[in-house]
Chains A and B, each alone.
Chain A
Amino acid sequence: MIFPVLKASSYILIHTPDTLKHYGSTQVTTRAKDSHDDYLKQLNRHLRDFKQVVNYAPNQCYIGNLLPDQLTEINQPWYAEANLLEGKRFGELGELMPEDEFYGLVKHVDSFDLVKLTAAFTKQVQEKLAEHPIFSQQNLALGAGNELSEIKQLLAEQDAAPLYFKDQLVGCIKRAHESDENLNSHVMLENLMAKASAYLAIINLQAKSGVDLSTVEYVVECSEEACGDINQRGGGNFAKAIAESAGCINATGVDMRSFCAGPTHALVNSAALVKAGVYKNVLVVAGGSVAKLGMNGKDHVKKEMPVLEDVLGGFAALITANDGLSPVIRTDVIGRHKVGTGSSPQAVISSLVTEPLDQNKLKLVDIDRYSVEMQNPEITKPAGAGNVPEANYKMIAALGVKRGDLEKKDLLDFVKKHGMPGFAPTQGHIPSGIPFLGHAIKMMADNTIEKAMIIGKGSLFLGRMTNQFDGVSFLLEKNSGTVAPEEGYNSEEVKRLFAAAMRKVADSLLGEGE
């Protein structure tokens, strides 16, 4: 069977401490309750500067400058001054961006003149982006900027959402409707930031892989945001909006959602579209979640550590027809959590991991690496959620022990050999399965690994429509180099003709016997 391939992927992080303070859901709800809350007072002291964020090993791993195995070798806590690296802002697979430059991108992708930046700040951003390896070559639509007084007026009279940089007011985002709460300034800020971060991911994908964005035929967006108005709250369509900003002129697209499992669903669906021949090039993309900035900040402050959820995350991945080189997406090795699967961890892991492997006569140990929910454990452990990837690996191994695939004494060895440390920010959909795609492409090209299973899981019950949980998985495999049958020869067709001829012979023999 000829499978579609994962041609390229990109990863971006945006350091957004001011957005965290003003728009992260934990901070917003705390402030609404008591604007003098102790946590809010202590927050500033726990925020990192851009350099610390660049030098933070998990971030370097996310943007492709460090393989997960190399991250394992670095002492923890990774945030401790002594364990910071000499990080690079630009990575093999993407980049880390500071908040001021990002506000420039938010302005650039704004189609309704909702984003207002002061003239002085606009000039500052323009100067910085002129030094940017990608954006220096592009003509960003930043305009001349506004007077600070105009921005203050929009804040006072029109419920605009203020934009701060290093605690200074530098702009605002206007509401897009007078009374529709789906278009209020806070929602517009969240959505424009999701759009701008997705845009940054695509631009990086283009810059790093050299792909011609005009060849993209379809874009699948898989963040956890919703855009729409009072009559269609989640009407969409981020995908097309992002495609337009990124210059994918021959594409349309669609938004795909399943909480954190969204990206894996999007990849499976995109692979299917390519395999079916509906489209040749499909781009999967997601921007970041403003609401989740500082989500576990209270626990981090309590534990006297930096508030590590200070970045928006984004990624993009390009699925194309088989090129004979890039890793193939095995559309015949797909796991899915079904409605009848149940919610016990055993049932979940069986449906996502062992069932698709069993169906294809593969063993647990045949998969070199499992990419699960790759949340950075330094973020989740202080909040009482434990080491999420490690727990997932232990569950896979324990299921192996129960099935007799592994000896109990080999459980931890399996975790070590087939697992990886978590390195992605807790942006929901961002850590779920997809952070390893870029590393997998590299490791397969280097012959370090041959097979990786990408697993996405989502907590559907949070939407209160069902108590169900969700998950989907697929196998990514090193390309064997077989692209397509020779022209004029189709093995399936030959088999069909041969079978038909044999049937004829059999029929005639039976006829003779009668």
Chain B
Amino acid sequence: MDLENQARIKELAEKHGPENLVVILGGAEAESSGLACETVTNGDPTYAGPLAGVQLGLACYHVLESEIKDEIEPEVYDEQISMMEMVLEVEEIIAETKKYREMYAKYQ
């Protein structure tokens, strides 16, 4: 995950408390989505960014997961996301995100 984004997430977690944050991913690929989820839950696995060794344990979902999808106005979802839903490996992306969330997230 981008080092700048890691810094922003860390700052937001400090400011608002990790229990009050939900990270919503929009990555187009399973591995990078998993990596992003791991970063905001268990820390930066590449040990390159501000979240290296920082276990924020944030609640983290991909926008394609039903927990998020069901919260979005269907027209908005259709306009903004439905095309990509057709294109992406949705199941793989969800499985990979879920894997890290279930392993490391402290908040739901």
Contacts and interface: CB of A to CB of B under 8 A. Distances in A.
Q: Indicate whether A and B interact.
A: yes
Interface of A: 344-347, 349, 384-386, 391, 394-395, 397-399, 401-402, 408, 411
Interface in B15-29: 28-29
A346 B79 contact: yes
Contact of A384 (B29, B81, B83, B86): B29
A12 B35 CA distance: 35
A346 B78 CA distance: 10
Given A344-B79, A346-B79, A398 B32 contact: no
Interface of B: 28-29, 31-32, 35, 79-84, 86-87
Nearest to A386: B29
Nearest 5 A/B pairs, CB to CB: A384-B32, A398-B86, A394-B87, A344-B80, A346-B83
Contacts of B28: 386, 391
B27 to A, nearest CB: 8
Nearest to A408: B86
By secondary structure, the B interface counts as helix
14 contacts: A344-B80, A384-B35, A385-B32, A386-B28, A386-B29, A391-B28, A395-B87, A398-B84, A398-B86, A399-B83, A401-B86, A402-B83, A408-B86, A411-B86
A345 B84 CA distance: 7
A316 B100 CA distance: 46
A390 to B, nearest CB: 9
Contacts of B80: 344, 346-347
Contacts of A408: 86
A27 to B, nearest CB: 14
A28 B82 CA distance: 41
A398 B31 contact: no
B84 A384 contact: no
A273 B97 CA distance: 50
Given A345-B84, A398-B83, A398-B86, 15 more contacts: A344-B80, A346-B79, A346-B83, A347-B80, A384-B29, A384-B31, A385-B32, A391-B28, A394-B86, A394-B87, A395-B87, A398-B84, A399-B83, A402-B82, A408-B86
